[in-house]
């Protein structure tokens, strides 16, 4: 990752800190941009509680001295901060590069305010663009789900772990399929199709789950896009 991209993410993360306000319960996504935000904001999070979408984020928050709550104990979140693998200016996102999209979607849905932080290279004309849609599947259903998606014209591959043999296994015990829908497929229909297949736990297509998109530009400037619910 180049220095310009790193600085763009840092600038966007600093801007996102302005939305902390009076939030007492702060939900956090997963990934390198969230890590940047968490490290920068840790001093302002000391008197709040954090709810993490993954073990990775929870461990970092704990190492920084923050109070971390298990998501099972929380029914609402004041502020949710996350990033995206791809996002368009309609606020539609592809997430799940870190295989945490299920809990990320749970926390985003539970939040009063959702702020997503990206560098400008993550902004695309239309999602999905260059990345497949991650889909978390019960291990016992992997063959059936692959066959069903193939019958519907989707391209499917099992995400393979870099640290061990076999597929990526999420914190929740699911496996991850990377799925590409038919060209020009309607995103609402894609989301409905993925959700309807038995064995699918959740997918990484996020629609209508962003309130504020903070974009760090390579020039050093920051752009904020606000969406209405």
Point out the catalytic residue in the list 4, 18, 35, 104. 104
- Residue pair 10/40 in contact (Cβ under 8 Å)? The answer is yes
Q: How many CA atoms lie within 13 A of 6 on its CB side?
A: 3
CA-CA distances (angstroms) from residue 63 to 9, 33, 59, 71? Answer: 22, 17, 6, 18
Name which of 115, 159, 116, 117 is nearest 137 in CA terms: 159
In the residue annotation, 104 being an active-site residue is answered as: yes
Strands of the sheet with 86-87, listed across from one edge? 86-87, 93-94, 205-206
- Residue pair 176/159 in contact (Cβ under 8 Å)? The answer is yes
C-alpha–C-alpha distance, residues 163 and 174, integer Å: 17
| Residue 148 CB coordination number (10 Å) | 18
| Residue 213 CB coordination number (10 Å) | 24
Residues assigned a catalytic role: 104
């Amino acid at each position: 990752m180049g220095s310009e991209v790193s600085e763009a993410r840092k600038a966007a993360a600093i801007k996102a800190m302005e939305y902390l306000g009076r939030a007492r319960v702060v939900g956090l996504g997963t990934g390198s941009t969230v890590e940047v935000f968490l490290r920068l904001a840790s001093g302002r999070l000391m008197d709040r509680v954090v709810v993490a979408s993954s073990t990775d984020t929870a461990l970092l928050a704990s190492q920084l001295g923050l109070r971390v709550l298990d998501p099972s104990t929380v029914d609402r979140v004041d502020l949710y901060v996350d990033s995206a693998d791809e996002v368009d200016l309609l606020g539609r996102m592809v997430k799940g590069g870190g295989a945490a999209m299920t809990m990320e979607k749970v926390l985003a849905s539970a939040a009063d305010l959702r702020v997503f932080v990206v560098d400008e290279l993550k902004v695309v004309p239309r999602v999905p663009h260059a990345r497949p849609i991650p889909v978390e599947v019960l291990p016992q259903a992997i063959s059936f789900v692959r066959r069903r998606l193939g019958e519907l014209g989707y391209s499917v591959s099992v995400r393979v772990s870099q640290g061990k043999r076999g597929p990526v296994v999420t914190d929740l015990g699911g496996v991850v399929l990377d799925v590409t829908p038919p060209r020009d497929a309607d995103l609402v229909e894609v989301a409905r199709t993925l959700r309807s297949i038995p064995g699918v736990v959740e997918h990484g297509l996020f629609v209508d789950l962003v309130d504020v998109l903070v974009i760090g530009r390579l020039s050093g400037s920051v752009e904020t896009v606000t969406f209405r619910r």
